[in-house]
Structure 1
Amino acid sequence: MTQSPAPTSSREASHLDRRAWTRTLLNKVPEVTILFWVVKILSTTVGETAADYLNENVGLGLSATTAIMALLLAAVLVVQFTVRRYIPSIYWLAVVLISVVGTLFSDNLVDNFGVSLWTTTAIFGAGLTISFVAWFRSERTLSIHSIVTRRREAFYWLAILFTFALGTSAGDLIAEKLAVGYFPSALIFGGVIAAITAIYYGFKTNAVLAFWAAYVITRPFGASMGDFLTAPTKGGGLGLGTNGTSALFIAIIVACVAWFTVKAKREDRELVTAPV
């Protein structure tokens, strides 16, 4: 078997390293780190609390709130699709908005159209499954490390929308319909996330499967925590309200995104100054 020749000089090696680094930068999603999961869960919780705040405190109503937030999400996604690589502020704004919209989709079906939580959970679960199947049949991968085309990015954001809507319905189903309660539900979902993490690191399971399983479960976990923090004490919550909770979590998200931005700019400068 003929092997490909190795780079013959440090100049060639640097050029290959730069090409690999460029492919990484062109990927449209962030590196999956602990901080990624922290911001994702906070975004999930903000989606729950912000949707409740806009619907109840501002008095827009579910239909108007959903229409406004869907238009904002569409505008941000247009920008996200236009940029050529991962930009933290744009990406995470899209995540927060898609969290809000996913929550509102579920709430609309249940509150305005009388669809049961069992049915919405099944509908969004089926939608997520179909999006994954279509994505894999088209691209032969579900890896988030290769979001380098608009078609893959479209599948990625569609799957994320379904994860948020599914997580909202599943979280409300367990916490409210089955009367498990907000905090016990958060413990259950947190336990599932811990189990997924342990299985992945302990048995070296498929990284793509582990990522998407954790991504789906963090939604009902964040939603249950959001409800627990904001719901009145007589309803099984801490009674902190949606205003303060949303403001605090948004402030933390902004701080994390600022750090992501500084880090990305530093990596850009290192790439520009790297020898070729």
Structure 2
Amino acid sequence: MKVAATTLGETAGDLFAQTLGLGYFVTTIALFLVFVVTLTVQLRSRHYNPFFYWTVILSTSMAGTTMSDFMNRDAGAKYLSGGATSLGRGPQGLGLGYPEGAAILVSVLLAIFLAWKLSGMTFQIRDIVTFRGEALFWSAILVSNTLGTSMGDFLSDSSGLGYLGGALFVAGLLAVLVALMKVPAVPNVLLFWIAFVLTRPLGATAGDFLTKPHAKGGLDLGTAGSSAVLLAALFGLMAHAQIQERRSALPA
């Protein structure tokens, strides 16, 4: 579900910012507002609801995509396609570059975890029941998804691995984390957060592989069609999770 949400976040973010020509800045503002709305619904819910929870995950993935692009990219020719002359409406990208952007985001994410640690609240997500705890949790999710986008774009654009190679590389790292779950000395909470960050570059590289043109190593399926298929898959998984949640709540 997380990979589906992050891949959809990549394709949908690109759909609004690039295909529809809204640009990174305008799209980031709009998607951040969507994140605030979905988070408000989640925080007001007294019980776990898969639709509410995964809608926030999706909104952080979409907002993280355009936030990362706005931070790292500029109006240079290498970021434009199809004869475009700008990155869309409003201000263009800041042009920090992937290493600098990732360094900033890593610092912010570590600051959130430090504040979380000093607060004395648990990192076990099933035990987060306070508003303050959820605020720290969702802040970490938003920043981690933005960081993951930067990592995925670096693997796709600058590492030489390409879209498919980058996706396979991250999938290999996730497989290592699965193996480490069997090692008692490695905390599962640590593995969870590393995996949570890594699923975002997996979604970023997989999303680009689906949508980018053949000349760039993609399948050229388009952002609209890919997003529609991924949205249907994610809603199907959310519906399944909702059914499982209701069954588990029934008395024996």
TM-score, length of structure 1 as denominator length: 0.81
Q: Per-residue displacement from partner, 1:121-168 (whole Å, max 9, x unpaired)?
A: 111111111111111110253111211111111111011111101101
Corresponding residue pairs, total = 233
Paired residue type of 1:177: S
Q: Per-residue displacement from partner, 1:171-191 (whole Å, max 9, x unpaired)?
A: 111221233211111111111
**What is the rounded CA distance, in whole Å, between the counterparts of 2:179 and 2:246 in structure 1?**
33
Aligned with 2:44 (options 51, 60, 82): 82
**1:114 partner SS:** coil
CA RMSD of aligned residues (A): 1.4
Q: Per-residue displacement from partner, 1:60-92 (whole Å, max 9, x unpaired)?
A: 222221111111110111111111121111111
Q: Work out whether 1:215 is the aligned partner of 2:177.
A: no
Paired residue type of 1:248: V
Aligned with 2:64 (options 99, 102, 108): 102
Counterpart for residue 211 of structure 2: 230
Contact 1:106-1:165 within 8 A present in 2 as well: yes
Please report how far the alpha carbon of residue 100 of structure 1 lies from its aligned counterpart in structure 2 after TM superposition. 0.4
Paired residue type of 2:188: A
Please report how far the alpha carbon of residue 266 of structure 1 lies from its aligned counterpart in structure 2 after TM superposition. 2.6
Contact 2:17-2:66 within 8 A present in 1 as well: no
Q: Per-residue displacement from partner, 1:182-215 (whole Å, max 9, x unpaired)?
A: 1111111111100111111245621101111111
Structure 1 or 2: more helix by fraction: 1
Counterpart for residue 127 of structure 1: 108
**What is the rounded CA distance, in whole Å, between the counterparts of 1:203 and 1:181 in structure 2?**
35
**1:260 partner SS:** helix
Paired residue type of 1:250: L
**2:250 partner SS:** helix
**What is the rounded CA distance, in whole Å, between the counterparts of 1:239 and 1:135 in structure 2?**
42
Counterpart for residue 171 of structure 1: 152
Aligned with 2:12 (options 26, 33, 50): 50
Contact 1:182-1:228 within 8 A present in 2 as well: yes
**2:181 partner SS:** helix
Counterpart for residue 5 of structure 1: none
Counterpart for residue 144 of structure 1: 125
Contact 1:139-1:152 within 8 A present in 2 as well: no
* 4+ aligned runs moved over 3 Å, structure 1: none
My pick for the range that moved more, 139-148 or 72-81, is 139-148
Aligned with 2:242 (options 230, 252, 261): 261
Paired residue type of 2:222: G
**1:201 partner SS:** coil
Counterpart for residue 139 of structure 2: 158
**What is the rounded CA distance, in whole Å, between the counterparts of 1:203 and 1:96 in structure 2?**
32
**2:173 partner SS:** helix
Paired residue type of 1:172: D
Please report how far the alpha carbon of residue 40 of structure 1 lies from its aligned counterpart in structure 2 after TM superposition. 0.3
Counterpart for residue 190 of structure 1: 171
Paired residue type of 2:245: A
Please report how far the alpha carbon of residue 268 of structure 1 lies from its aligned counterpart in structure 2 after TM superposition. 3.0
Contact 1:174-1:185 within 8 A present in 2 as well: yes
Counterpart for residue 243 of structure 1: 224
**What is the rounded CA distance, in whole Å, between the counterparts of 2:187 and 2:49 in structure 1?**
27
Contact 2:122-2:128 within 8 A present in 1 as well: no
**2:199 partner SS:** helix
Aligned with 1:71 (options 8, 33, 51): 33
Paired residue type of 1:86: Y
Paired residue type of 1:254: F
Paired residue type of 2:56: A
**What is the rounded CA distance, in whole Å, between the counterparts of 2:177 and 2:240 in structure 1?**
27
Please report how far the alpha carbon of residue 241 of structure 1 lies from its aligned counterpart in structure 2 after TM superposition. 1.3
